Structure 1
Amino acid sequence: MTGHVKRFPILETKRLILRKITTDDARSILSYLSDKEVMKYFGLEPFQTLEDALGEIAWYESILHEQTGIRWGITLKGQDEVIGSCGFHQWVPKHHRAEIGFELSKLYWGQGIASEAIRAVIQYGFEHLELQRIQALIEPPNIPSQRLVEKQGFISEGLLRSYEYTCGKFDDLYMYSLLKRDFDKIHRSL
């Protein structure tokens, strides 16, 4: 099977270890997913209980089991606490595409951590999941996430009007994409 995940991969960057999230991480996840600013463009209300966090972890497990996605916990080297997550969902191996998603505890914003994690996940997707296209759906007011994906080489393909109904409202979303050939070209020039 194309890009099948057999054993959960651990990704390492200069400052980070990206690893599988377990139920032991529920308190860490609750601490940042209960923050209104972190959840502003997440499509869910801020988490309030440990059960909310356990539900999120169960979703990570389900997409991995169903082979429709994979989500890594972001940890700093030498510290095992999950400070955010990054990964793929809406993975369609037949069409070699997936959607990327990410969030990070506000305590770590502006330090290049999300960028470092996303780069590692993108590289894994192209090299091991045999993706040809990675897309990101981002709300128009979420300028920091738009800048983050643009820095990785993503291109805006247009606005999807009233694309999602979340938190009692319809949201427009920008569709961004990064193709493997563009990623390869960017990295050859570095």
Structure 2
Amino acid sequence: METEFPILETERLILREATEEDAKDMFVYLSDHLVVKHMGISACESVEEVLEEIEWYKTIFKNGIGMRWGITLKDSGRIIGSCGFLNRNPKHFRSEVGYELSREHWGKGIANEALERVLKFGFEHLELERIEALIEPQNLSSQKLVERQGFTREGLLRHYEYTNGKFDDLYMYSILKGDL
């Protein structure tokens, strides 16, 4: 299990731990209804709610069940989204992956670049065999993103989650270490 939060780098990005100092930048996208629409959470209404999200990132890391990187552009250093693992199950060598990105940065390949690096870290350093992505059927851009990375759609999980007062169907996608 990691004890120090790893920093990952890509051509354009630095993926790093989110801190309390990032809360205002994170509020920009976590308060955007279009960004959180398919995340199973309500849009944040205050910076305090973002601080709770950051605290959750710290807790899942400390407990070894997840790891969420803040996505930053090398030229600005401010967090514009996040990407990482949740519901990690070391016994079965698997984890879910999730991500979100500020709307102003959609369509620029940033989520793809961040996801690719996080997947590589998961397979190489966390010894994952399987990484899953649970995606709402309406979230076509997210489906295209994971398909570009080599994920396979395995099926539809009916009424899999209860969020925001309703039951959500989710597609189960997965990628195996040997798929790369």
TM-score (norm 1): 0.94
Give the letter for the 1:154 counterpart: F
- Within 5 A, what are the aligned runs for 1:57-68? 57-68=54-65
1:77 is matched with: 74
Report whether the alignment pairs 1:137 with 2:140.
no
Question: Which of the numbers 2, 17, 31 marks the counterpart of 1:5?
Answer: 2
1:66-117: per-residue Cα shift (whole Å, max 9, x none)? 0000000000012110000000000011110000000000000000000000
1:102 is matched with: 99
Cα distance between partner residues in 2 of 1:168 and 1:6: 37
- Structure 1 portions without partners, runs of 5+: 184-190
Stretches of 4+ aligned residues off by more than 6 angstroms: none
Give the letter for the 1:110 counterpart: G
RMSD: 0.5
- Structure 2 portions without partners, runs of 5+: none
TM-score (norm 2): 0.99
Cα distance between partner residues in 1 of 2:8 and 2:76: 15
Across the two proteins, how many residue pairs are aligned to each other?
180
Question: Which of the numbers 30, 33, 38 marks the counterpart of 2:27?
Answer: 30
Report whether the alignment pairs 1:118 with 2:115.
yes
